[in-house]
Structure 1
Amino acid sequence: MNLFRLDASILPGASASAEIADIAEAEWTAAHPHATVTRRHLGTDPLPADAWTLATTAAFTPAPDRTPAQREALALSAALAEEVQNADAAILAVPLYNYGISQHFKTWVDLVIAGGGATTPLLKGTPAVLVTTLGGGYGPGSPREGWDHSTPYLERVLADLWQAELTVVKRELTLAATTPGMEGLRDLAQQQHSEALAAAHDAGRALADH
């Protein structure tokens, strides 16, 4: 058994998404104590920003004419796609940044697609937990309703393109405890925090039982 764990927080020491993902992972590893966990942390070990361009242009370049950088990018994209495809289960912890996905997460997605194929269902039939955290509130009736441009994209790639059997654990208002002007939201934020932690336990157990 092999669990693939991906993190994308740029603040790993204070990551709200990692806190939730850690719980789901603990539930899975408790059920599979001798299994392998393959980790990739895009926040602390980002991928080269130009790798996708190099891998894409290499695909249209005859092999003898490829530059060393293009060959390295192709090898990297293939390795990243293989990490995803080899997973028996997956946990991805991806915060919202600036109302969307971060550039380092997008680089990873683009490289996986380059290495695995634009329409290849790399996670077909694979149980996966997406943990996503948002500093503000984006639900119906909120001032920023409709500004979450991250979660729909994540679901599109993981569930629709890669065909994972996806469970989403989402926590909003992560900045309420420390941000001036959000004091009135702190009780709701604490409630959402508690609900997300409970959902992580449930998701991790379901992941392990799959």
Structure 2
Amino acid sequence: MLRIHGIARSRAFRCIWAAEEAGLAYEVEPLGFAGGFRLERSLDINPNNKIPALEDGSLVLFESLAINLHIAGKAGAPLMPSGDDASRVLQWTLWAATEAEPHVMRWAYNAYLKPAAERIPAEAAAGKEALDARLAVLEGELAKRPFLVGDAFTVADLNVAGVLYGAWLNGYDLAPFPKVKAWLDTCLNRPAAKRARAQREG
């Protein structure tokens, strides 16, 4: 059984969603935040002392998107395709981490995560401007196909949508990107996503 350390109201949400999509048995070892963004206790199995972390037998992993690639690899196709499409999954997963997430978080911290008195509107605006440029890339790709790696949902879609989930849920203006909005709606309303969201939003 997979053991996911964290809480659904964190990046562990992505891993819970991946386990649900894969149909693999898992349990969540609850570990949240005491104040601000500090963990309520240390997580010794992750040398970065962050959540999530995954235990799968003797294997221990950190980094949510890497955990998701591992989970998808256990499930195989269609969640994790083979051949060139597997390489495309890696491409989009790294894109989510390097191109999208830094700007998502810059916007999010200053739009809704921090207490209102600590938010800096100029930082939120700068994050949005940078993220909009990346969403324009995504819009162009989704004009060519319904999902990131072709006609079927894969862990590439899960990882990118997982990174964008907080923005989607918290009022980010997606009107200039209708294909991204429709794709996010499709991804985040899949049955497995809804089960994971129930843990986070409930």
TM-score by length of 2: 0.33
**Which structure has the larger Rg over C-alpha atoms?**
1
Structure-1-length-normalised TM-score: 0.32
